[in-house]
Amino acid sequence: MKKSDYTILIADDDPDYLFQTVFNLERAGYKTMAVESQAEAEAVIAKSRPDLAIFDLMMESDDSGFILCYKMKRKYPEVPVILATAVSHETGLSFSIDSEQEKSWIRADRYLEKGIRAEQLDQEIMKLLKL
């Protein structure tokens, strides 16, 4: 399959981050679905199955991203999920989800610091989609 066969769901309440992520992913060749809130993301998940999802951590509530990861994995356990946030150091949320123990409660496949380069994001996605 080619990149254009994959649809990526992106949820972020920062319109600029959303715009840039969509722009970069489309440039890389993916299809995208962009939403600005946890509620909208939940509605999308209920109706359709994306091939990968990128969720911002803090939206309507401080743990919107965690909740979305959980709901996503319950419905589509095989779809990779990336959790993105701008605050890692300051909140003490400097976790990586490499150990089995961490994987058990953070139901995301990757944890990414916001502001990473477009190429880096593309590489992470390719790894998760096994491209």
If you count DSSP H runs as helices and E runs as strands, how many of each does the chain have, helices first?
Answer: 5, 5
Taking the complex as a whole, the smallest distance from the CB of residue 82 to other proteins amounts, in Å, to 16
Taking the complex as a whole, the smallest distance from the CB of residue 16 to other proteins amounts, in Å, to 4
Nearest partner of 124 among 37, 34, 8, 14, judged by Cα: 8
Binding site for other proteins (CB under 8 A): 13-17, 19-20, 23-24, 27, 36-37, 58-60, 86-87, 90-91, 114-115, 117-118
Taking the complex as a whole, the smallest distance from the CB of residue 117 to other proteins amounts, in Å, to 7
Closest CB to other proteins among 17 and 66? 17
Closest CB to other proteins among 4 and 120? 120
Kindly state the greatest CA–CA separation across the chain. Answer: 40
Extract the tokens encoding 117.
């380069």
